[in-house]
Amino acid sequence: MAKQLILVFLLCAGIANVSSIGRVLDGLQKLAKFITKAGDEDTFDVPPVTENKNGSLQPVTVRYGLALIQIEKFKPNNEAYTDAVFHMWERQSWSDSRLRWNPKDFNGASVARPSQYSVWRPDLVIQEAFEFSRGSVQAVVYSSGHLLHIPPIKMKLRCYRQDNDDYNCPFTALSWVWDGFHVALDNYENKQEIDLSDFIELPGITVVGTAAELQTTYYPCCLEPFPSMQFNITLRETSDQISNEISPNGLK
């Protein structure tokens, strides 16, 4: 009898678990349809600007930052500059009121990961990059309308030799199309530097310092502000080398 009761209990628990999973999946499917519908008729071609009390436009603020992961093809020389290839993670966050929802309406689903074509994304570019690629990864959307997008990027930059033989690698991130009345910029998590937490330092190269500074430019032709993020990475050549010598105990 005891074994039968245990079997009935496990069976009921399994049915409940399957039912719970079904509700979650149903909620996620409904949520995906909601997000897709919100982007109908090219809605997401337009930034999620809002309106002030006085009726003027309130731009969407994109918080932007970078995390340096690895450096390759950096070869110091006796010339005024050299080139380097950087592997990084972009960190972008912003809010879009068109994507707010009540989790209760979607069986508790409070997070979505829509396809790259289902939501508006900042059209930020690196102005000085000779070569640039951005990984196609999903953004994370929260029920509050907050979005987080962290794609990997790879770019080739020019680095200029300084008097002390360090190399400055300056570059600029900005919106390719939108002015500051539509898309504003701010430092991601208030960091005024590039994150080096996950940086893989290679022998022969060290990062002396980094910077991330906001700048706004005005042109004689226009009243609109044009915000940008000014970055710099300072590199230094070191004498560190990987030793291939074998010690008497057989260890490198």
pLDDT along the chain (252 residues), means of 10: 40 43 58 66 76 85 98 90 96 94 89 81 95 93 95 97 95 96 96 96 91 95 94 89 41 40
Structure tokens at 147: 């979005």
Residue pLDDT, tens place only, 109-152:
899 888 766 789 999 999 999 999 999 899 999 999 999 999 99
Structure tokens at 13: 């628990």
Does the predicted TM-score (pTM) go above 0.85? no
Whose structure tokens read 């020389």?
Answer: 77
Question: If DSSP codes are grouped into helix, strand and coil, which group holds residue 196?
Answer: coil
Question: What does the DSSP 8-state code read for residue 192?
Answer: -
The pLDDT assigned to 5 comes to: 37
Topology of the domain covering 50-237 = Acetylcholine Binding Protein; Chain: A, (2.70.170)
| Residue ranges in the chain assigned as alpha helix (H) | 2-38
Residue pLDDT, tens place only, 156-170:
999 999 999 999 999
DSSP 70-118: EEES----SSSEEEEEEEEEEEEEEE-GGG---GGGGTT--EE---TTS
Question: If DSSP codes are grouped into helix, strand and coil, which group holds residue 42?
Answer: helix
The pLDDT assigned to 42 comes to: 55
Q: What is the distance, to the nearest Å, from the Cα of residue 24 to the centroid of all Cα atoms in its chain?
A: 28
The pLDDT assigned to 93 comes to: 97
Whose structure tokens read 């044009």?
Answer: 226
The pLDDT assigned to 23 comes to: 57
The pLDDT assigned to 28 comes to: 61
